[in-house]
A and B are shown apart, each in its own frame.
Chain A
């Protein structure tokens, strides 16, 4: 079976500008020969420390950075990131939610307008009555009642902003949602709600997830496959239970060991 998304031997390096006119140009190898695969209906978690290249991987998949080597395949066909026409169709299918819930919304747009803008841009002109229905439905899906459509970001909590960002990303029913640290800035009680929401949306609409996170416990709860990155290289990938129960690489074992533990779960109440 063809994977929904496949990254094949991708390498990305950034040019670091040295100080001074004649300073030697240096490079930062952000990704080195990384291959991952997300099946239809799969949820892949990508974990690693800062500088491991996990955000670069997300940006590569979205076409925000270009690979120096390697390719990204969508349903078996290489993605032509340089062809605007092809990309317009793909953007409906491939969407993203970022970390900062306030920063990713336009402060001058209400929640409804933000979702509506995404709908118009991705699905083309939609008759306004039908558009309104879809906006309200998209907000309802993420747990925001119709009253929220008229609110501005500053009138919303961090969790509500992130729900709007998710509604905006999912209004065109993408096949793959890229989440780059999408729950990292949220309070624990709200983080749990958003993790649950992503899980529900993913199940209900057969939407795959590429979930980038430094939080291993969140990944364990949400994803069925896990890839571990270290300094731009893929250290290990496999299904969730295998990675967490019997990690093969020393790096994964170290990462897991470093997570602060809560005392064993209490009984009852």
Chain B
């Protein structure tokens, strides 16, 4: 399916994003939504990008797929299976969208075309690309619905999205995303609009997708979702990655003060405290705001003068090269002993 191309990318990496920047020209001036973001993903791996509203996490996904709004531009590099996607023509992008990278959007009601039957929604990707006959596509649609745990798939194929419950819509959206057998799934807040019980089911299904060898890149603000699903986590704040770590390390010993504060702010079911939740003072910055230093410094209880003056670069923490190594952009990382290790 991919366009042959010489590549210098590590073949093990399914997706490689380097120094990605996304900006939008708006009436209020230029908005830098994403800056200097680099991530790499392998097949069968689940990477979670965690951030609050305005952190740039969704624009990162859209930039990778060439789906930015008209006033948006991206620079840097996004390589999928060795093919450069930034600046690629529509033909190249269309060869990747759906069949290489599939997108599971946040809101299943607005992502499923209302006047088309579920059968059409599921099969149009295959049929438009000439990848299957109608009968084959129908068979595959039935199988896909079965895989996401939908009963009586024959009957469902004849229904419209508005006849389904929220959880069932999200499962149909997942089945649709998997129809063309992509190698990578982008999931943008896939559980946000769902009830907890349905959410648990969707997370199970996403874990199944990962176990089948697909890469799963999940965008979320919910650290509970991260804990159950992701192998690694990148934490974004104001358009930049401030920390990356394995999921286990992130929860065990968060290095960036923002990560630690975010973890502490989540109300839990298993602690003793009743009254005060340790929130983070202030609000996440507006996307129009620019910071010469660390964007979190104004809200950080550990901030020094230098934090606001000059931006700390991401550097390696833990034993570099080891599986547990992470990165953090902070002059005063928590767990400083671990952070003492320098990059080679």
Contact across chains for B266 and A217 when beta carbons are under 8 A apart:
yes
Given contact pairs A260-B227, A261-B224, A261-B227, A192 touches B203 in the complex (Cβ within 8 A): no
Residue of B with least CB distance to A52: B195
Q: Is A59 an interface residue (CB 8 A)?
A: no
| Chain B residues positioned under 8 Å from A218 (CB to CB) | 267
CB distance from B72 to the nearest CB of A (A): 21
Q: Which one, A189, A214, A220, A266, contacts B196 given CB within 8 A?
A: A214
Inter-chain contacts of A192 with B (CB < 8 A): 265, 267, 277-280
Which of B94-102, B105-113, B256-264 interfaces with chain A? B256-264
Number of interface residues of B (CB under 8 A): 47
A202 to B225, CA, bound (A): 31
Residues of A within 8 A of B200 (CB): 258, 260
**B128 CB–A CB distance under 8 Å:** no
Per-position binary interface string of chain B over residues 220-250, scored 1 when its CB falls under 8 Å from any chain A CB and 0 otherwise? 0111110110000000000000000000100
B276 pairs with A199, CB closer than 8 A = yes
Query: Bound state CA distance, A191 and B199, in angstroms?
Result: 20
**Any chain A CB within 8 A of the CB of B322?**
no
B283 A188 Cβ-Cβ under 8 A: no
Docked-complex contact B276 and A262, CB < 8 angstroms: no
Q: Given contacts A189-B52, A195-B277, are A262 and B263 in contact (CB under 8 A)?
A: yes
List 8 A-B pairs, minimum CB-CB distance, nearest first: A260-B224, A192-B279, A189-B280, A217-B267, A187-B52, A192-B277, A49-B195, A193-B279
16 A-B residue contacts at CB 8 Å? Answer: A187-B221, A188-B223, A189-B261, A189-B265, A190-B52, A190-B283, A191-B265, A191-B267, A192-B277, A192-B280, A217-B267, A220-B267, A221-B273, A260-B225, A263-B227, A266-B252
Show the binding face of B for A, using Cβ within 8 Å.
Answer: 52-53, 166, 195-200, 203, 221-225, 227-228, 248, 251-254, 260-263, 265-271, 273-281, 283-284, 286, 334-335
Q: Are A215 and B284 in contact (CB under 8 A)?
A: no
Contacts of A190 in B (CB 8 A): 52, 279-280, 283-284
Q: Are A259 and B269 also in contact (CB < 8 A) when A157-B284, A196-B279 are?
A: yes
Give the CA-CA distance A267 to B67 in the complex, in Å. 43
Interface residues of A in 204-258 (CB under 8 A from B): 214-218, 220-221, 240, 244, 254-256, 258
Contacts of B334 in A (CB 8 A): 269
Kindly state the separation between the CA atoms of A50 and B278 in the bound complex, as whole angstroms.
Answer: 28
Instruction: Please tell me if A158 contacts chain B, counting CB pairs below 8 Å.
Output: yes
* Interface contact B283-A157, CB-CB below 8 Å: yes
Q: Is A172 an interface residue (CB 8 A)?
A: no
> How many contacting A-B pairs (Cβ < 8 A)?
126
Interface of A is mostly: helix
A159 within 8 A of B: yes
Q: For the complex, what is the distance from the CA of A160 to the CA of B279, rounded to whole Å?
A: 14
Q: Which residues of A173-211 are within 8 A (CB) of B?
A: 187-193, 195-196, 199
* Distance in Å: Cβ of A234 to nearest Cβ of chain B: 18
Does A130 make an interface contact (CB < 8 A)? no
Given the complex, which residues of B lie within 8 Å of A265, measured CB to CB? 268, 270-271
Tell me if A129 is interfacial: C-beta within 8 Å of chain B. no
Chain B CB within 8 A of A23 CB: no
Which residues between 6 and 58 of chain A lie within 8 Å of chain B, taking CB atoms? 49-50
Q: Are B261 and A269 in contact (CB under 8 A)?
A: no
Q: Is A1 an interface residue when CB atoms closer than 8 A count as contact?
A: no
Chain A residues contacting B267 (CB-CB under 8 Å) are 191-192, 195, 215, 217-218, 220-221
How far is A263 from B261 in the complex, measured between Cα atoms in Å?
Answer: 15
Nearest CB on B from A119, distance (A): 26
A262 in contact with B268 (CB, 8 Å): yes
